[in-house]
Every structure is written in structure tokens, then in C-alpha cells.
Amino acid sequence: MKRSALNLTIIALLLIPGFTYAQSSANDPVLLEVAGEKITRSDFLNVYQKNNVKDEALDAKALEEYLELYINFRLKVKEATELGLDTLRSFREELAGYRKQLSAPYMVDDQAVESLVNEAYQHKQFDIRASHILVRCDRRASPADSLAAWNKIMSMRKRILKGENFGKVAAENSDDESARDRTVQGRQVKGNKGDLGYFTVFDMVYPFEQAAYNTKEGEMSMPVRSDYGYHLIKVLAKKPAMGKVQIAHILLLFPPKATAADSVKMADSAQMVYELLRNGGDFAALAKQYSGDKSTSDKGGVLPWFGVNRMIPQFIDAIRELKTAGDYSAPFISDFGWHIIKLVDRKPVGSPEDERNDIKQKVTKSDRTVVSQQSFIDKAKKEFGFTENIAAADKISSFVDASVFAGKWAVPANAILNETLFTIGDKSYSQADLANYIAAHQRQGDTLHIPTFVQAQYKLFRDEKCQAYADSQLENKYPDFRALMREYHDGILLFDLTDKKVWSKAIKDTTGLQNFYNENKNNYLWDDRADVTTYTYDDPKTTKLLKKYAKKGLSFEEILPKFNHDTVEVISAVRKKYLKGENTVVDSLGWKKGIYPGLKNTDGKQLFIVINDIVVKEPKQLNEAKGIITADYQNFLEQEWIKELRKKYPYSVHQDVLKSITQNQ
């Protein structure tokens, strides 16, 4: 039975978790001993206060009652462990799954995340327009290939610094094909000469974004490395953030293979529409009449909300000139045609408080996580004492061949791989561990420079093990995490054992449930009820004959055939027992045995009621109260189980310590 984390937490709380196993001392004496476990006064009080209202005066009676529940709890845990439930694979896997969820908040560098969130908010205050030149270089490339890519992009940077046009160099040399004119699906597409338009935080990969925001307007960066290769970035503009906007537009679209004459004609048309607007024309009507964007023209030209990276730079620059909703621009040209735009609405960047949750969520889901994860690993290395032998890792390269890129490499049987690679805390890892890691994680792919590949695999292996070691120390480092894991450990055990001993047993043990009912049926009594037969029919003339049969004492099973024939139903009848308040008509009759003709229901149909008898209190049948009877049977089973456990395992309460708790309040 799989449980959600939320359900398990609720179950754990109900089962009184929170035991932290503090060491006993003169100032913290043992209060309780249960089956060999010694529980100190502070242990118990931590649990008690967690599951009760804090800062209230301790009531001796309430404390003793809670202590009895806590003894039962510890006895059940003891029984579960004695039965070996904590050794079952299903238990270990489930607990490991919850541990992974619970440990996640502890496995981050909060300071690094906070720094990234603050940096992202600062970036969000500005929009950048930049051009770039890309020299592709795989992140796993050999040192020689990386150096060649570096030298290539540096040579371009020198040319630009000497006066060559950035856009010209980009169009001629950039590995980003969008920089030059090209044919796409049979259509000629004009190159952007490296111009990426406007962007803001999270629109680009993090190394590119960081370099762009750290470069002054009009200047060019040093080469910056991303997973795509090396970039040169020239910042063309840095403007206050536009935020999100909604606009309406009118597009005078250039025809395919437009000529200069076409451009002039479109310019004249755009100016004509603009003059109509200035003379009071309705923007929506003019958009419907003149706009070449048929997806929006029938909607008054209104576009969906968008950010700075969703439109061409000319569009963004024009929007910046519009200050108030309803303002519209003069005509401006782009590669698509002539545009006139109107500001519909604007959502500026919010305050740090308003933006924080959204930014933090994006930080934790973006490539920035590499930064925060590395920061966490670096701190773990320092905290737990990390040493490494890089030379030993490099030696692995001599044992790896190109078959690893076909997923067919095996660690050579004769390889001597016993040198220590690194140590963290009390854990050491050898060359053999790395070799086995490489063999286990190989897959088909491009052939790479083997020493560089091995270095990358070593870093992954090293970082994984450092994270795993930090994870293994959480219980020692954080008492609250240790207590939480103990709650889940005990909660899972008790859920499984209680289900077996109580919950499922009460449902499946039909004989036991029946016997329990037979012995306790007088605990499940109906209040006085009226035994009523209700006849329903349409024709008032039926009443006289029905009354005649009823006075003779005929049952409704005997009466109905006298009126109903074949498929014709003249009269219907229901016999039922009612409690007071369940049937207003019966209540109105005073709960007296007798015949009551001449009534009507809310639908206007004739009612003929016979109160056959007033039934005094009697036991409910098992099927009439199965829910509450099953619940009581579960309580009975649990109490019997607790009696068995209290006989089976020793326990004792140090009464002097218990008294000291309330006396010191």
C-alpha cells in the first residue's frame, strides 16, 4: 500500500512520533523504559509539546494519559521491529523515497540560491539588446579543440577592436546560422548579423546572460563559454525593463519579393491610416479594414500579452515611446512591413517581494542550479574534509578506449586500479570505483577526446559521492531532520502493522465482526420508530376501496394485486420504519397506530398511510450500522493487541521523574 507524504505525516502525528533519543544525564533523567529503550524527560516533553498546545501549564492528568498513549506507541514500534518489518525491501524502498523528498531542502546552499535570486531580480530591471558571434565547441571537447575555438574567436575580437564591423564579422564567421542570409524551406530569410534583439533575465543560458549584463552598453565582452561554445557579445542597448505589455497593431504587410516601389506604396498607406487615427478614427475598425495580420484584424489588432524577447527590436523600441494606455505610434518599418501600434495595457516588473517566489522557482529550475549545486558541493568538501589525487584519476585514461562511446567498454581484468582518488569524511574512493562508474554510465554517442571524457566523468563521479556523503550526514548535522526521519520510519512501520492487526483485519474478519456484533448488539439500538406503509395513487376514488382492505388488516403485498393488473400500475406502496423527524407527514399524524386516508404529497398525488405499529427501541442489524460497528471492532482489536504487547514487553515509568515535570511548572 503506497502512501503519500502528506498522508504519512498525518498518520505519524496520530501515532505520536517525534522521538529524538537524547542522551540521559543528571539534568535530564530517564522518565520511561520500554522494551529496552530509555526515554528521557526531555525526549518525552519534546513529543508531548509537539502534539499539544505549547506554552500551556502541564496538567498532571493529561500528561499521564498522554504517557499511556506514548507507551502504546513505543510498544507497537518494538513489535514491528521484532517482526522484522524494518528489514523488508518494500519498507526500505518506501522510506528511502520519503527521505529523498525530505532531504531536498537540506541539500542546497541557501546563500548561493539567495544570491542568484537577488542577481536575477537586478537583471530583471533592465532589457538588453545584444549581438553575438558563436564559435561552436562541445563542452567535452579536447583541450586542443577548445584552444583552437578560443584562438578563432579571439582573432575575430581583435579584428572588431581594430575597426571591422561586428555585424559583418558575425555574418561571415558566426556558427549561428541566423547571422547570415539563408534559404529555409524554400523561402529566403534575411540574416540578423548576430543581432538577437531584446532579452531579459532567464531568456538566455545563464553564462550568456551574465556576460551580457556585465558588459557596458556599446562595448564587447571577452569570449564567454556556454554549452554551445564560445560567444562574443556586443551590447547594443540597455534599457529600463519594459515588463509585460498588451498591444494592438495594424500591419501593412509587404508582398512577397517586395520592391522599392512596394515599400513606398506601403509607406503611403501607413501614413494614410495614421492620419485617419489622428482625425479620430477607431483603431479597431481600421485594423479590421487595413491590417494584413488576419489572425488579429478581427480582434481590433489586439495581440496576446508578451515580454521583451517575443518581438522584433523595432517593435520594442516603438512600445517604449508609448506611456499611457490608448497611446499609439507613428508608422515604423520592419522586414515584415509598416506597423502602427497602440498600447492596451502594461504590467511593470513588481517589487522584490512580489517577484521573489516566481524568480526563486525559475532559479531552481534553470541552468543556474549548476551554480548553487557546485556551491553546495564546495562547502561540503570544506566541511567534511576533502582531499583528492587528480593524477590518479588521469591514469584511468590509459585503460579507456573508444569502445566506451559505443557502450561496449569493460574494465580490463588485468588493470591495477587501487590508488585512492579522493577522500571525504570517512569515505575513500579508488581508481576502481571510477572505472566501474564509467562502465556503468557509458552510452552510445560521438567519439570524444578520451582524457577530457575521463576528466568529465571523474568530476561527475566525485560530485555525486560528495553530495551523497553530505546527504548521509544530515541526521548527525540536523536534529530536526533526524527526528523527522524517525517519525517517518516509525510511521511506516506502524501503518503496516496496524493495518494488518487492526484496520484490514476488522474488514476481512467477517466471523470476528459478527461475533463482536452478537456480543454488543445492545450498544447499537434504534430509537422508537413508526412502522409505516405508504400508498400513493392518482384517483381519489381509490381511497374508499383501499380503506376497506386496510381495515381488514390486509398487507400491502395482498392489496396491490387487487388494483394493479399486467403492466398497469394504479397504486404503489412502500413499507418503512421512520425515526421521529424523518418523515414530516408521519410526524404530523401524532405517531399513533391507525389508518390515515385523504392525504396528499407535494406532487399532488393521493397518500394513504397506515401506521402498522410503533416499534420500541431494538438493536440495529449488522448491515444497518456496519460502519460504526466495524470502527468499534477495530478499537476492540487494538485494545486487545495493546494488552498482548503490554504482557509481552517490559516497560516502566519513573514516577519521581514524572512528578518533577508538573512540580517544576
Q: pLDDT tens across 29-80, in order? A: 999 999 989 999 988 888 888 776 555 667 788 888 999 999 999 999 999 9
**351-383: b (≥16 Cβ within 10 Å) or e:** eeeeebeebbeebeebebbebbbebbbeebbee
Cell numbers representing residue 46 in the block: 519534546
Cell numbers for 277:
487615427
| Domain spans in the chain, listed from the N-terminal domain onward | 1-82+478-524+622-665, 126-240, 244-348, 385-474, 528-616
DSSP state letter for 285: H
pLDDT at 664: 66
- The two most distant CA atoms of the chain are separated, in Å, by 121
pLDDT of residue 161: 97
One-letter amino acid of 367: D
**H, E, C per residue of 628-665:** HHHHHHHHHHHHHHHHHHHHHCCEEECHHHHHHHHHCC
- 12-21, 432-441, 576-585: the lowest-pLDDT one: 12-21
Mean pLDDT over residues 609-638, rounded? 94
The answer on pLDDT for 196 being more than 90 is: yes
Percent of residues, the chain, with pLDDT higher than 70: 95
Model confidence at 591: pLDDT above 80: yes
pLDDT tens digit sequence for 505-559: 888 999 999 999 999 999 999 999 999 999 999 999 999 999 999 999 999 999 9
- Characterize 67-101 residue by residue with b for buried, 16 or more Cβ atoms within 10 angstroms of its Cβ, and e for exposed: beebbbbbbbbbbbbeeebbeeeebeebbeebbee
* 155, pLDDT greater than 90: yes
Phi-psi sector, 242: left (phi>0), alpha (psi -120 to 50), beta: alpha
pTM over 0.85: no
Statement: residue 264 has pLDDT above 60: yes
Q: Is CATH 1.10.4030 the classification given to domain 1-82+478-524+622-665? A: yes
Identical fold, 1-82+478-524+622-665 and 244-348:
no
Residue 2 confidence (pLDDT): 45
What is the C-alpha to C-alpha distance for residues 415 and 337, in angstroms, rounded to an integer? Answer: 68
Q: How far apart are CA 538 and CA 533, in angstroms?
A: 17
Give the H/E segment covering residue 229. Answer: strand 229-240
At the topology level, CATH places domain 244-348 in: Chitinase A; domain 3 (3.10.50)
Cβ atoms within 10 Å of 2's Cβ, excluding its own:
8
Tell me the three cell numbers of residue 398. 590509459
SS3 (DSSP) at 137: coil
Specify the amino acid at residue 347. Answer: K
CA angle 67, 68, 71 (to 5 degrees): 85
Query: Which pLDDT does position 662 carry in this prediction?
Result: 76
pLDDT at 12 over 60: no
pLDDT digits (tens, 9 = 90+) for 95-115: 999 999 999 999 999 999 999
Confidence of residue 190 (pLDDT cuts 50, 70, 90): confident
Q: What is the pLDDT of residue 3?
A: 54
Q: What is the pLDDT of residue 21?
A: 45
599-612 confidence digits (pLDDT tens): 998 888 999 999 99
**pLDDT of 150:** 97
Mean pLDDT, the chain, rounded, equals 91
- How many Å apart are CA 315 and CA 305, to the nearest integer? 14
pLDDT mean over 349-353: 95
Domain 126-240 adopts which CATH fold? Answer: Chitinase A; domain 3 (3.10.50)
Residue 54: per-residue pLDDT: 58
pLDDT at 26: 62
| Residue 172's pLDDT band (cuts 50, 70, 90) | very high
Share of the chain above pLDDT 90, in %: 81
Check residue 287 and give its pLDDT: 95
pLDDT of residue 665: 57
